[in-house]
Amino acid sequence: MLTDITLGQYFPGKSPLHLLDSRTKIINTVLFITAVFFADNYLTYGIVTAFTLITVLMTAIPLRMILKSVRPLWVIILLTLLVHVFSTPGQIIFHAGPFAATAEGIRQGTFMTLRLVLLIIMSSLLTFTTSPIALTDGLERLLSPFKRVGLPAHELAMMMTIALRFIPTLLEETDRIMKAQIARGADFSSGNIIKRAKNMVPLLVPLFVSAFRRADDLATAMEARCYRGGENRTRMKELKMTGKDIVAFAIVIVLLIVLAGLKIVH
């Protein structure tokens, strides 16, 4: 039932991308997204596409899983393609009903669609190769300079970690409460509105009571262990930048410079 849902899309592995520091991956994803927006002709689109393909192959994640992350946006992708193909003025290639497809439109449509697909693939690679915990850890470290202007970086990362940690737990709990109440004769799937609303009460009361209790227990447990925020806190797994990270930065920055350069030259 409900518990069949697997949360997160982290795909454990030992590829060069998996071994990178999560901060490196977050920053490089942003840099790559910037680089993609510099692409505007066959050569530059070729470069970013090749770069994406090589990165995907390096991660050793099955292609099927990568395509699955593109699927939810297929409507937008298809619409982007069609709108550009049929609404760009230029040399007409063929007619489809009242619409005319132009050579420029096909070119523009392909570029725009490609850009979108590359963006989706690269941003999903981040969560494919980084565990949620490493991701929130990296985010905390990246945001910590903003603590001075009042951004609670540590608290934010802590809440994200707790939310992620408790999604499966609360999901299982919801499932268990539903089954327990069904066993007692509750009916969640029939009757009129009032009856259904009444049937929701025995599901929601235990769910909220247990959520509040969990919050109390967890707060007590953390305070008993002297938790007092991010100040001077040590961690079990320290994030460490290594030579690999420097190489990754160098590659992406070179890509960014080359694409920006080609954009200026043209």
**Per-residue x/- track, 236-255, another protein (CB under 8 A):** --------------------
Q: Which of 56, 164, 186, 251 binds another protein (CB under 8 A)?
A: 164
Q: Is 83 in the site for another protein (CB under 8 A)?
A: yes
Question: 99 — phi, psi (to 5°)?
Answer: -100, 150
Interface with another protein: number of residues (CB under 8 A) = 62
Query: Which of the residues 38 through 67 are near another protein (CB under 8 A)?
Result: none
Query: Which of the residues 84 through 103 are near another protein (CB under 8 A)?
Result: 87
Q: Which of 19, 147, 155, 182 binds another protein (CB under 8 A)?
A: 155
Please say which residue, 201 or 250, places its beta carbon nearer to another protein: 201
Q: Is 196 in the site for another protein (CB under 8 A)?
A: yes
Q: Which of 19, 103, 215, 250 binds another protein (CB under 8 A)?
A: 215
Q: Which of 53, 182, 197, 250 binds another protein (CB under 8 A)?
A: 197
Q: Is 73 in the site for another protein (CB under 8 A)?
A: yes
Taking CA atoms, 41 is separated from 45, 58, 216, in Å, by 6, 26, 58
Q: Is 147 in the site for another protein (CB under 8 A)?
A: no
Q: Is 119 in the site for another protein (CB under 8 A)?
A: yes
| Cβ at position 265, least distance to another protein in Å | 28
Tell me if 156 sits within 8 A of 143, measured CB to CB: yes
Interacting residue ranges for another protein, rule: CB under 8 A: 2, 5, 7-9, 33, 69, 72-73, 75-76, 79-80, 83, 87, 116, 119-120, 123-124, 126-127, 132, 135, 139, 152, 155-156, 158-160, 162-164, 166-167, 170-171, 174, 193-194, 196-198, 200-201, 204-205, 207-209, 211-216, 218-219, 222-223, 227
